[in-house]
Amino acid sequence: MAELVVGISDLKVTNNPADSMVTYALGSCIAVAVYDPAVKVGGLLHFMLPDSSLDAEKARETPGMFADTGIPLLFKSCYKLGADKKRMIVKVAGGASILDDSNFFRIGQKNIMAMRKLFWNNNVLIDAEDTGKNVNRTVRLDVGTGKVWVKRAGGPPEEL
């Protein structure tokens, strides 16, 4: 079984049911896990920032950095492997903040808002979500079963 590690600002897709995909240490970043059970295609994105208008060049070079470039690319990459938007299950986790989230460092909240808006505008429903609060998370997608596991720092993995 191959474990595909998805780094910050990165995304991966696979149709090998023996694979599992994992992304570590989500703070304010968000992991988007998508899965089409009919063709067993899975994808995982770890985006860092809400909006690619911040830096067009970085967005071209590293589309996985931003919600508005990473999420569309994640879906398109899955379509190439035969996934169908209508069947795709979408689960998200992350977008945490440090204590006192009304402050300068609330990138997590901005990421959540940007992601929700994008899904809303594209008629995509989020099937399960574990976002916000002030915990670090590790997210795993098991491509054989489509199960998504979220492990909060210091806790056991729990199915999302």
Partner 1 sequence: MKLDKRILQSIRALPPFPATVRKVMALAGDPDSSHTELAAVIRLDQAITANVLRICNSAFFGLRRPVDNVGDAILHMGKKNVLRAVMAAGLSRYFRTARGYDVGGRDLWEHAVAVALMSQICAARISIPDDPRLFTAGVLHDIGKMVMGEFVHEAWQRIRALREGQGYSFLEAEEEVLGVNHAALGGEIALMWKFPDEILKAIAFHHRPDQLASGDTVPWVVYLSNQACHVMGIGVGTDALAYRAVGDVAGRFGIKQRDLEDMMARLHHSMREARELVSIVPGPGRNGDA
- Could you tell me the CA-to-CA distances from 121 to 15, 36, 96, 125, 129 in Å, in that order? 27, 21, 23, 10, 18
Number of residues written out for the chain = 160
Q: Which among 157, 119, 122 has a CA at the least distance from the CA of 139? A: 157
Question: Which position among 4, 13, 21, 29 bears the catalytic label?
Answer: 29
Q: Which among 142, 138, 107 has a CA at the least distance from the CA of 26? A: 138
Position 69 contacts partner 1 (CB under 8 A): no
Position 132 contacts partner 1 (CB under 8 A): no
Q: Is 104 left (phi over 0), alpha (psi -120 to 50) or beta?
A: alpha
Position 121 contacts partner 1 (CB under 8 A): no
Q: In the range 94-113, which residues lie near partner 1 by CB under 8 A?
A: 96-100, 103-108, 110
Could you confirm whether 29 is annotated as catalytic? Answer: yes
Position 11 contacts partner 1 (CB under 8 A): no
Which of the residues are catalytic? 29
List contacts with partner 1 (CB under 8 A): 8-9, 24-29, 48-50, 54-55, 58, 62, 65, 96-100, 103-108, 110, 134-136, 138, 151, 153-154
